Structure 1
């Protein structure tokens, strides 16, 4: 199997416009936004920023974004401009915004100055938004890929603020924290979910989706994304399995070993719910560990089910050509739902 990549590149906003295509399909749903005025007015000397944050008893939060990214706008609107998370962030973090396509110069240390774009590449920032949390010594202690709703983000903030990242995974922390929570997510059904849990020797494309009873975005994901007919079509094009991330019931894995969903979450370090890991020939090819709207999600599935990853080294390059193909047919692309 050639050109297998470890993660999907979700820049989430196509790097082209519809102008110039003969049949005028249009791309809509990209949203312009501004970052809050209270973000740190940094000279982008990270060592100095870390030292200043330490004096204030805070950690560093690097917020990576991209122009017109609808997921970035939603994340900022719901968590940084308003809501209870805003004060929590202001009290505990020094926030520095970084544009993954930007050209501002950033100094990580005295002998190293690179552009925002180069930093994003160096840190393997593949999603927008991406949030990197740094401790008071400048060490990256946790990475959040993609959008989180306010409840999930509040849980993550508490996990970092209380230093529980030193003791356990976010998944285990969430499970322990909500043990007595009577209001839990009730697992929803879908016609595309398969019940095949014996994956030993299975060589075809597989999507494994992880949910749990504490998932705050799972119900909405079913209602707004999985209910989409085009998404359902792509789900049926491969083996689509849904697992309970908290379950300790073992299943037969691709290599013949027995492993529980709970252990799989830890093995693959999946912190997002509903997270989806995409496999082919028994190996991970890509994953969805941040919120995606229908268009990006269905194309992420098609990228694997059609084995386009063998032609395109990254999802981003695949998506650019795929979107151009759709636009040429006069079909509009909405990035926002």
Structure 2
């Protein structure tokens, strides 16, 4: 029976787009109103929760159940704000198997006691009344932490660390969070006076500087750090002077003209460019073509190296950025200059 169920589930995965679960499809080219793509790295689960817990435990991970419903603005915020931040994605992927469950869905679920039920009945049995609800399960399938509703990024990071670190055995999340006292993001964009200003016209002209575009969002502590610390350092200021610089809010509907001359909005351009994380730094040449991008958390030396990699034209002769970084570090070392990658 279990083998048959797995076969049927596998067939469903093959014939349904990986972005959409079977219950979300209304017909060719149509999805439910308010549907928001779940991250592609979520587990394609057979929804036997006991097996999911066992498999996660064998990989030194835990299970995170994400209960959602279409048209839920807070679910959209969780996916588009929190899961657009590299730190949160890395912590979630390294510590958890993330499984999405539709609050009103009819897919078959095998529960923690072996009972066969549906998504909506499973949610009801766990008293899920809000979306999003995140249930973090321990190695026995017990709830180590329940998150009702949307947590802003700094609190989401604390929740992930609390469960991944198995701190529930030492006390409540409330006490853990109070001790940690994480600083929230500023909630603002850091568009400096020297940047290109809206309405953005990013078209490249003959002889123009290369273009550096910061793709960011307001609730982004890493963006705060980038502008509040990294970019204020003198070597970074000098490196950035070789570029025209623009900042694009990935969720804004502000109009702009792209480097290759297309009229669109900031939000649509970010989607078209497949920007997954904030901050992302994208570099464009004088023809409007992308030459390089960074999408990970980088400290000052690597951010400066990325700018030099593009402004010097080194990307044309050295396709491996890490080789360029290592070569630069070696040269500085030979000159007696100490390189600390974490400063």
User: TM-score if structure 2 supplies the norm length?
Assistant: 0.49
Q: Which has the higher contact order (CA 8 A, sep 6+)?
A: 1
User: TM-score if structure 1 supplies the norm length?
Assistant: 0.49
